[in-house]
Structure 1
Amino acid sequence: QWAEKAVRESVSITEQEAIEIGVIEFIANNVDELIEIIDGVRVTTASETRVLKTKGLEIISVKMSYKDLFLHSLTNPNIAYILLFLGIYGILGEFSNPGSFFPGIVGGISLILAFVAFQSIPINYGGLLLIIFGIVLLVIEIYTPTFGLLTAGGVTSLILGSFMLPKATAPFLRISLVLIISMSLATAAFFVFALSKGIKIQWKKSVTGREGLIGKVGITKTVLDPEGTIFVHGERWQASVIDEKIKEGEEVEVLEVKGLQLIVKKYIRKE
């Protein structure tokens, strides 16, 4: 039953669980101990029964190929966790700076490798869903700033998901607690810092530069339907358009500044 699940569902179990359900017969801490344990053990094959005589045998080590070393490293829970967060940072970087491509490519590859690694590591899928939910909240915060509400929810979800992610009880299959705390705190610190800077800049812009923005021409970074993001006067702003939809990459003219949002219209160049 377990063998079928291992093939069909990539189910992983610890060595102690394997002993309990009869998947394996021995647990050895190293090769020398294994050689000693199996000496004298009877093994039945399709054709005969043989007694293993392993005492005093020479051990010959065979090195893994580079491909095998790479795949083996992916099964390290700490490596998989780091790849997961690299993917998160890359995707967030691409969403915050559309068109830069490099963060998105690195993030996408890292996420795929992380999910491949999680196929062979016992994980709690509830924890993984919390991490994904945290990513979604942080992405939404980029496009519709809520002055910290979504950021707080996203970071909290990431931290809770990180602590819930490991499912195995075996030490070598668990994510380092130091790594979880470090990555979670680093993520929280980064977004708190970015949020505080963003609020300061937005308030400064709304107080000192609002009159200077009226009449300026900018470029839409997202579709305005009716709200979205534009880049004008060297800065990224939330903007809203009245009675029309404007595509990404179109030129717009600033008509009015309302708090931290710009009211714009499609810019028509004069011939």
Structure 2
Amino acid sequence: MGRLMRGMTALAALLAFGFASFESAAPPLRAAAAPHGVVVIPVSGAIGPASADFIVRSLQRAADEHAQLAVLQLDTPGGLDTSMRQIIKAILGSPVPVATFIAPSGARAASAGTYIVYASHIAAMAPGTNLGAATPIQVGIGGTEPPGGRGAPGLPGIGGGDGASKPSAAAPASGTSAASAASAALPLDTQSTELRKQVHDAAAYIRGLAQMRGRNADWAERAVREAVSLSAADALAQHVVDLNARDVPDLLRQLNGRTLVTSAGNVTLSTANAAVATLEADWRSHFLAVITDPNVALVLLMLGMYGLFFEFANPGFVLPGVVGAISLLLGLFAMQMLPVNYVGLGLIFLGIAFLIGEAFLPTFGSLGFGGIVAFVIGALMLIDTDVPGYGIPLPMIAAVAVFSLLFVLGVSRLALHARRRPVVSGSEALIGNIGVVLDEGLLAEPGATPGTGGTPAGWARVHGERWRVSSTAPLAAGQMVRVTARRGLTLTVEPVETLQQGERS
């Protein structure tokens, strides 16, 4: 057991070192960019830890290889607030100009994608694309509906009461009066105060980005407060984006000769005949995308807990402990990158503890039922965001809960069968065994009289071994005896007239 604990401690230290190296090291991305060329970074799907890591490393590579432009080809329904801000910080600090291009046709840059577009040096859209709907709840900060079902004016997805206003073309262009009206209409409670803080923070953030890039700040604030969206042509007409382009070559042709301001100074683009390199996600990005999927992270936590439980319940197997330790650390690593509700995570661990306790304690299902309930509630609460793609579906929760129940019932059944089996080792294993008297039999000790308490003693072969035995009556050599007790190195036996079927000898 001590060797196992030392081995698992060493494994944990190695994994911690590996994760630290994983965070600091940046493996090379595929495709080589020519000096003063153009780097294309395709991103599709929800903005999360994996996509943020890919974009940040791609921009760093573009700077290292002295590319003159990085094109972020974007198609996203939104994403996590922390990942979005990580991307925006990388764009604002990049010495290479970044052109965010919403493409191909049919793509969108909703929610978090709108902030990224506004942060970029160049904003472009392909025909048939749209952007907008940038409310904080959709970005993934979280939020709850005010009591009584009264939604904040202009906030989508929150039920409006009788006085709720609806967005329209006649809405005021400036967001200041709308913000004041929204603040006045909300009740003064904790939930509405939190909602106001989120909306005001997001509105100020995107307005600051718009002012930095010289784009339509009023519409940007409306995208936050009223969740409005625009098509490519309308976005160009309202100066939300800088240009429309059919594809990347058309975008580069239109950008040729433009001068942009970056963190390193002014950069004049010469993109008409520039070499174009498209970067692809490497193993690190794919690995992050897999483990930061909430479903995979939940399964890793389950495997980790049950692997360690099986190892501690059956020391010496080693493999369950190794797999459990790796899975648990990977699951916790993924959880620290996701917007996790720690109450939900605590309920999951409590539910697993109850299920494990059910295997050892005679609670007649009480702990098991409580463990299933705690686990299901915790899984429903685990991910604290409404961003598409980051929720745990009910079928997944039900499947893991059923698996947990079957696992615990299986382990309990094995433990019950093991308890019912006869003892096969130790002194208790000798009780009930059949032996045969050796030498001259069991005779009374020399000089013993009936009143002195002397007992017949001798030798017998029991369980293939030669034992000193004693009995209440003399026994002849070759007679069968049964062991009834053990005192030190002496066995107490009694005569057996006939050997019944099933008795051990």
Specify if TM > 0.5: yes
Counterpart for residue 15 of structure 1: 79
Tell me: CA distance 1:72–1:49, structure 2 relative to 1, closer, same or farther (3 Å). Answer: same
**CA distance in 2 between partners of 1:101 and 1:84 (Å):** 18
Counterpart for residue 313 of structure 2: 96
Residues 207-256 of structure 1: CA distance to partner in whole angstroms, max 9, x if unpaired? xx8xxx5xx5657xxxxxxxxxxx989xxxxxxxxxxxxxxxxxxxxxxx
**CA distance in 2 between partners of 1:148 and 1:232 (Å):** 33
Residues 114-164 of structure 1: CA distance to partner in whole angstroms, max 9, x if unpaired? 000111111111110011112222333344342322222222211211111
- Which of residues 295, 307, 326 in structure 2 aligns to 1:109? 326
**CA distance in 2 between partners of 1:59 and 1:170 (Å):** 33
Question: Shift in Å at residue 62 of structure 1?
Answer: 2.4
Residues 16-43 of structure 1: CA distance to partner in whole angstroms, max 9, x if unpaired? 7579989859997767757733767985
Question: Shift in Å at residue 63 of structure 1?
Answer: 3.2
TM-score by length of 1: 0.57
Tell me: CA distance 1:192–1:122, structure 2 relative to 1, closer, same or farther (3 Å). Answer: same
1:83 lines up with 2:300 in the alignment? yes
Moved more, 19-28 or 163-172: 19-28
Counterpart for residue 402 of structure 2: 185
Counterpart for residue 260 of structure 1: none
Aligned partner letter, 1:168: T
Counterpart for residue 119 of structure 1: 336
**Alignment partner of 1:15: what SS?**
coil
Moved more, 158-167 or 186-195: 186-195
**CA distance in 1 between partners of 2:429 and 2:379 (Å):** 38
Question: Shift in Å at residue 52 of structure 1?
Answer: 7.6
Counterpart for residue 147 of structure 1: 364
Q: Answer yes or no: is the 8 Å Cα contact 1:84–1:110 preserved in 2.
A: yes
- Which of residues 124, 130, 135 in structure 2 aligns to 1:36? 124
Question: Shift in Å at residue 84 of structure 1?
Answer: 1.4
**CA distance in 2 between partners of 1:143 and 1:200 (Å):** 9
Counterpart for residue 227 of structure 1: none
Unaligned runs of 5+ in 1: 1-10, 220-230, 234-266
Aligned partner letter, 2:325: G
Tell me: CA distance 1:54–1:149, structure 2 relative to 1, closer, same or farther (3 Å). Answer: farther
Q: Answer yes or no: is the 8 Å Cα contact 1:126–1:161 preserved in 2.
A: yes
1:138 lines up with 2:226 in the alignment? no
Aligned partner letter, 1:99: G
Counterpart for residue 489 of structure 2: 270
Moved more, 146-155 or 52-61: 52-61
**Alignment partner of 1:44: what SS?**
strand
Larger radius of gyration: 2
Unaligned runs of 5+ in 2: 1-47, 53-77, 92-98, 108-116, 118-122, 126-241, 243-250, 431-485, 491-505
Aligned partner letter, 2:334: A
Tell me: CA distance 1:74–1:61, structure 2 relative to 1, closer, same or farther (3 Å). Answer: farther
Q: Answer yes or no: is the 8 Å Cα contact 2:303–2:324 preserved in 1.
A: yes
**Alignment partner of 1:91: what SS?**
helix
Mapping for residues 119-268 of structure 1, pairs under 5 Å: 119-192=336-409, 195=412, 197=413, 201=417, 205=420, 216=423, 218=425
| Identity %, equivalent residues | 28
**Alignment partner of 1:175: what SS?**
coil
Q: Answer yes or no: is the 8 Å Cα contact 1:122–1:173 preserved in 2.
A: no
1:69 lines up with 2:157 in the alignment? no
**CA distance in 2 between partners of 1:70 and 1:19 (Å):** 16
Q: Answer yes or no: is the 8 Å Cα contact 2:351–2:374 preserved in 1.
A: yes
Tell me: CA distance 1:66–1:218, structure 2 relative to 1, closer, same or farther (3 Å). Answer: same
Aligned partner letter, 1:80: A
Q: Relative contact order (C-alpha < 8 Å, sep 6+): which is higher?
A: 2
Q: Answer yes or no: is the 8 Å Cα contact 1:147–1:199 preserved in 2.
A: no
Aligned partner letter, 2:304: G
**CA distance in 2 between partners of 1:268 and 1:51 (Å):** 98
